[in-house]
Amino acid sequence: MYGALWRILPGPIWVRIVILLVLLAAVLFALVEWVFPWVDQFVAPRDVTVTK
């Protein structure tokens, strides 16, 4: 999977590394901005109140 990704990327090694870093940053941003807050509503430690 990741091996295929590496082969698909064009250019010399350092270009591939730069592209990968940019991709990684984009993925992390998407996770923090959208994915994690969405997942959070299902798994968070939520209850801090006393209720019946």
* Contacts with another protein, residue ranges (CB under 8 A): 1-2, 28, 31-32, 36, 39-41, 44-52
d(CA 25, CA 27): 5
CB of 28 to another protein, least distance (A): 8
**By C-beta, is 2 or 14 nearer to another protein?**
2
**By C-beta, is 18 or 27 nearer to another protein?**
27
Q: How many CB atoms lie within 10 A of CB 17?
A: 13
CA distances from 7 to 2, 20, 25, 46 (A): 9, 12, 20, 44
**By C-beta, is 11 or 24 nearer to another protein?**
24
